Amino acid sequence: MLKFDVSKIREDFPILGRKIRGKNLVYFDNASTSQKPKAVLEALQRYYAETNANVHRGIHALSQQATDQCEAVRAQTARFLHASGPEQIVFTRNATEAINLVAYAWGRKFLKAGDEILLTGMEHHSNIVPWQILAQEKGSQLKFAPILEDGCLDLEGLKTLLTPRTKLFAFTAMNNAFGTINPVAELLGLAREQGVLTLVDAAQWTPHLRTDVAAWDCDFLVFSAHKMLGPTGLGVLYGKKKLLESMDPFLGGGDMIREVHLSHSTYNEIPYKFEAGTPHIGGIVAFGAALEYLSRLGWEAIDRHERGLTRYAMDALSQEKELRIYGPSQPERRGGILSFNLEGVHAHDVGTILDTEGVAVRAGHHCCQPLMRRFKTSGTVRASFYFYNTVDEVDVMLRAIRKVKEFFKVKVP
């Protein structure tokens, strides 16, 4: 394991040296997408320069090498998740598509009228809308576990919603708007007791915390490569082998078939059954470099650094009187995400002024409109950290926030 030296790490990320409107870029929009280290960019370039060919088809050497590289990353992804085999790893376009895959291929086959799907009040739109479409089609019901004032799940309320009618419980491991970390193992245990299938939306979790699907014993898990140093356009669905095998295909086309006749087709084995068409081969290969980079840093070191940053930022922001921080107050219940509003100032105005200081944050509803409504706001300002961020950068943001207050002359009423 390497010594955790942030200034050295930052040298691996070319974009972090950029100026924005004449100021040093302070990139605090990592929950949207992370930046990419040179190792990932080089892997992408090297793949196209040296190995580019289509996979699973060619009899020629290049095609074989491309296939081998792709399959090596599939195995690497399985190890990263502590999955028992590479056949449990399905490559998709993103976490959203992975959820849609389950809604389509599992839901359309196994869900019936009157069945229920349990979600939570803090889900990303991508973990709501696919289920709404499915429920409408099937005449099934969606239930939403309530959220407490501190942005955490109401576990007692949730328990009453897990009933014999519940067929699937799909929830986020870490909320993207407030950074709330859910008690994943406990939630999975509750569902298991009732014989309910589970899907973990780990899009915000996998970039920051060690993931172990074997220990969690979840049925499905999804995440996106681009939030964890990888390229955009690549997501992953993990599923238990028997479940994946029992499901119908998702998209039809090449690669997912065994034999095609004019009247019918037979399908390939998992995971290929769910991977129609040419996949994002270059992206998969580059994602291998991202996983390697993260494992060299080590999850403990990443977590320690990000927790330090979050605590520092929370302490500093809570000194600001006219500022409301959303989500859990205990740092151990949240990831490196700080969502806040300045009294009397719209989140977009805060976002724009921070941008003039080079600070990139997200302002808006963060694809979590139901959660925003629960907290009676149209949106928040969200600063989200990654391991390459520094305390100095948090200070830049703090100075920018003071500037917003001065500019709009925010006063305590």
Partner 1 sequence: MEGDAELQDLYREVLLDYFRSTRHRGRVASPDIESQGINPLCGDEVVLTVSVRGGVVEDCKIDGHGCVISQSSAAMMSEAVKGQTLEEASKLAEGFKRAMLGQSSFDDLPDVLDEARALEGVQKYPARIKCALLSWNTLLLGVRSHKEGKKEVQYQEK
Of 318 and 352, the one with the shorter C-beta distance to partner 1 is 352
Contact 396, 358 (CB under 8 A): yes
Amino acid (one-letter) located at 377: T
The torsion defined by the Cα of 333, 337, 342 and 346, in degrees rounded to 10, comes to: -130
402 binds partner 1, rule: CB under 8 A: no
Binding string to partner 1 for residues 324 to 353, with x set by CB under 8 A, is what? ----------------------xxxx--xx
Residue of 314, 379, 390, 393 that binds partner 1 (CB under 8 A): 379
Residues 6, 305 contacting (CB under 8 angstroms):
yes
Q: x/- contact string, 290-329, with partner 1 (CB under 8 A)?
A: ----------------------------------------
Decide whether 209 or 347 has the Cβ nearer to partner 1: 347
Give the residue among 164, 175, 112, 123 at the shortest CA–CA distance from 145.
Answer: 123
* 3-class DSSP state of 243: helix
The token duo for 52 is 């580019």
Which of 356, 391, 392, 399 binds partner 1 (CB under 8 A)? It is 356
Hey, what's the torsion of the CAs at 156, 158, 162, 167, to 10 degrees? -160
Q: Respond yes or no: is residue 70 known to be catalytic.
A: no
Residue type (1 letter), 258 = R
Torsions phi, psi for 91 (to 5 deg): -85, 130
Report the residue number, 21 or 60, with the smaller CB distance to partner 1.
Answer: 21
Residue 346 Cβ, how far from partner 1 at the closest point, in Å? 4
> Is residue 358 close enough to count as binding partner 1 by CB under 8 A?
no
The CA dihedral of 94, 226, 228, 269, to the nearest 10 degrees, is: 40
Smallest gap from Cβ 382 to partner 1, in A, equals 13
SS3 226: helix
**407 part of the interface to partner 1, by CB under 8 A:** yes
Q: Which of 152, 218, 367, 368 is catalytic?
A: 367
Catalytic residues: 367
- What residues line the site for partner 1 (CB under 8 A)? 21, 346-349, 352-353, 355-356, 363-365, 372, 378-379, 403, 406-408
